[in-house]
Every structure is written in C-alpha cells, then in structure tokens.
C-alpha cells in the first residue's frame, strides 16, 4: 500500500488553540480522503509554541537545536504540508514567519501545501491570499487554491451559513489530497551536504568529472 507523509504546522499560541483545532480538521479530512483511495497516511503535527525558543535560537545562531531540526527535517521530506496560523495585525503570526525563515529556501520545492488561518472576524480572511500564499509561491511550494479561514463565529452558528466551515475544509482537503496522492516527494532524498557539483564542473563548467 502506498504511504504519504503529511506534516502539520500550527502557529496558534494559546492552549487549546483554534488554529490547532482547524489544523486537526484539515488533516482529518485530507487523511480520510486519501485512505478512501487506498493511500496510507503518516502524519506529524508540530505546534510552533513548543519550538518558539528553538526558532529564536536558530535565528540568532544559524543552526537548529535538535527538536526544531526534527520538525525542519519532517517538513523538508514531506509529501504534503498543512499550515495554520492566527492572523495578527493584518498578517501571519510573527512566530509563523520566523519558522518559515529558518526553513532552507530549497526545502519546500514542489511541496503541496494547504493553508489555513484563524482570526476574530472574517474581515481578515484575505490575509491567506495576500500574505501567506506569496510565501509559499516564493519558496516554489504548491499551495492549493482553496485556503481555509476560520473566524471565531465559524465555530458556532455565527459563521458563513451558505458555505460552512466544514464545507470549506472539505473543499481544501480535496484539492490537497489530489496533489499529495500524486507526489513522490518523500521518496526523493534532499541532502544539503551532498556534493552535486564536482570540481570539474565547478572549474570549467564540465558535466561530472
């Protein structure tokens, strides 16, 4: 049976957090869809709150402490990435961006991404498209077209009555599952210490030796 590895990053700061809750639902629908198609799913969930000090130390020192390194390695070798951040002051949380900043710029190439965000009111929902989506486009990841924004009201009866939160989650998860099913990204090893340009190539533009 085929197995796909999905990594979930939640940048919610409180415990429990609605960002984590949204992340869990995005994962549940995506994994459910994949399993229906006979694809086994291995999921790893990271809450950036637990990594906040490590992320700061990485920014200051240039290397990842062990716990953060585990998260970065998981992201780099994933078949799909689900991210959820709260929207603070018109954009992603600072901690979320700091995490993105310590990811190797090549590590997300061709990675399917499902974006979620949370906020107090739906008036911030476009932050997904003007702030978060360009990050992943810049990194050559593949964010699916549906981003899922959950405002506080969405968790009760005060949300969108026509396209409810569960509908939007399912739509995003469907687009995401389609891409994750097709990728074989986790089978490709990306080793930053590997030598891909031997000296003949470096000196004179020769291919190989």
Q: Which residues bind another protein (CB under 8 A)?
A: 56-57, 60-63, 65-66, 192-199, 202-203
> Rounded to a whole number, what is the largest CA-CA distance in the chain?
67
- Cα 49 to Cα 28: distance, rounded to the nearest angstrom: 21
User: Which candidate, 90, 91, 89, 107, places its Cα nearest to that of 186?
Assistant: 107
CB of 72 to another protein, least distance (A): 13
Tell me whether residue 36 or residue 209 sits nearer to another protein (CB atom): 209
Tell me whether residue 68 or residue 141 sits nearer to another protein (CB atom): 68
CB of 195 to another protein, least distance (A): 4
CB of 188 to another protein, least distance (A): 18
123 DSSP 8-state letter: G
CB of 199 to another protein, least distance (A): 4
Tell me whether residue 28 or residue 59 sits nearer to another protein (CB atom): 59
List the structure tokens of 171: 């739509």
Tell me whether residue 61 or residue 162 sits nearer to another protein (CB atom): 61
Q: Can you say whether residue 191 is alpha, beta or left, with left for phi > 0 and alpha for psi between -120 and 50 degrees?
A: beta
Torsion of CA 69, 71, 72, 75, to 10 degrees: 160
Bond preceding residue 16 cis, omega within 30 of 0:
yes
DSSP 181-193: HH--GGGS---TT
Tell me whether residue 44 or residue 57 sits nearer to another protein (CB atom): 57
CB of 93 to another protein, least distance (A): 21
CB of 189 to another protein, least distance (A): 14
Tell me whether residue 56 or residue 164 sits nearer to another protein (CB atom): 56
DSSP 56-99: HHHHHHSS--HHHHHHHHHHHT-SEEEEEEEEETTEE-HHHHHH
């Amino acid at each position: 049976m085929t197995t796909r590895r999905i990594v979930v990053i939640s940048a919610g700061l409180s415990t429990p957090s609605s960002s984590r809750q949204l992340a869990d639902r995005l994962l549940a629908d995506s994994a459910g869809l994949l399993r229906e198609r006979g694809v086994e799913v291995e999921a790893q969930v990271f809450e950036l709150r637990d990594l906040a000090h490590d992320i700061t130390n990485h920014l200051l020192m240039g290397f990842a402490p062990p716990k953060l390194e585990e998260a970065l390695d998981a992201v780099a070798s994933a078949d799909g990435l689900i991210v959820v951040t709260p929207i603070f002051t018109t954009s992603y949380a600072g901690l979320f961006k700091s995490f993105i900043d310590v990811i190797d710029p090549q590590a997300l190439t061709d990675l399917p991404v499902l974006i979620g965000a949370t906020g107090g009111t739906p008036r911030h929902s476009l932050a997904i498209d003007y702030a978060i989506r360009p990050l992943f486009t810049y990194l050559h990841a593949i964010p699916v077209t549906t981003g899922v924004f959950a405002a506080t009201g969405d968790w009760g009866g005060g949300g969108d009555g026509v396209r409810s939160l569960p509908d939007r989650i399912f739509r995003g998860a469907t687009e995401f599952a389609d891409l994750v099913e097709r990728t074989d990204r986790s089978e490709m090893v990306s080793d930053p210490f590997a030598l891909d340009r031997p000296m003949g190539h470096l000196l004179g533009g020769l291919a190989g030796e």
